[in-house]
Amino acid sequence: MTIQAIAIDDELPALKLIENFCSKVEGIQLQKTFNVPAEAFKHIGKYPVDLLFLDINMPSVTGTDFYRSLQQEAMVIFTTAHAEYAVEGFNLNAVDYLLKPFTFERFQQAVQKAQQLILSRQTHPTATPPLIFRVDYGLTRVQVSEILFIEGLDDYLKIHLHQQPPLIVRMTMKAVIEKLPPQSFMRVHRSYIVALSRVEQVRNKTIYIAGHEIPVSSSYETAFFSQFGQQ
């Protein structure tokens, strides 16, 4: 499959660079470039695309606002010279975030992520999108299927992953459970959320997952055993 893409940036040299880079990457066709966002918006309405290369800091409209206003579904790779916009970009489930000036190798890496995402959607059309966590002053993308359980530590969470080191993130239990698919995860204790598919054994109000013992508190006991019995 060839990815159909457009590029939007108020700076013409930036568009020329993306056009040049796209010509060197297999599996992507850059339909057009736009330095006026309104024209790009009209184009997408007539000719849907798979991917946008979208500058964030434009005078008429920000790239994030432009992307939010789209009626059609499309992937986005944000481009900008301002690192402080990265968090907002990832919160919109951007495929990637290219900080100007970026190299061809970095550009190619971003396109490959888009290609892999399309392949994943074709193979697993109902796959749950990954979660984005702030870790050590950076952003980390986590596949929901890799989460074993989540442990609450005061104002932090310890996210235990399959065959990977755990992640420490600053987030509340309430906030993270709102992001998780309710049919797959359940809170079993004030300090624990478990992935139901990862539960290996339950004995005497204790859940066993990958060598860890997780208590089931009395306030969550009835709901847990009811839902776990339906898995």
Same domain, 191 and 113: no
Which of 60, 90, 123 terminates a domain? The answer is 123
What the block records as the tokens of 68 is 């939010």
Same domain, 136 and 36: no
Residues 9 and 70 in one domain: yes
Q: Which long-range contacts (CB under 8 A, 24 or more apart) does 102-110 make?
A: 104/21, 104/24, 107/18, 107/21, 107/25, 108/21, 108/24, 108/25, 110/77
* Residue 216 phi, psi (nearest 5): -105, 115
- Average pLDDT, consecutive stretches of 10 residues, N- to C-terminus, the chain (231 residues): 93 97 96 95 89 93 90 88 68 83 95 87 65 80 91 92 92 88 90 93 92 93 77 52
Q: What local confidence, expressed as pLDDT, does residue 207 receive?
A: 95
pLDDT at 183: 82
So what's the pLDDT on residue 72? 79
Q: Are 44 and 74 a contacting pair, CB within 8 Å?
A: yes
Alpha-carbon torsion (34, 39, 42, 47), positive or negative: negative
pLDDT at 25: 96
Question: Do the strands 75-80 and 96-99 form a parallel or antiparallel pair, or are they unpaired?
Answer: parallel
| Of the residues 123, 146, 161, the one at which a domain ends | 123
Look up the pTM and report it.
0.58
Q: What is the pLDDT of residue 226?
A: 78
Residue 14's pLDDT is what? Answer: 96
What pLDDT does residue 230 have?
A: 52
At residue 150, the pLDDT reads: 97
Shared domain check, 174 and 109:
no
Q: Find the domain containing 140 and state its range.
A: 131-229
Q: Are residues 117 and 165 in the same domain?
A: no
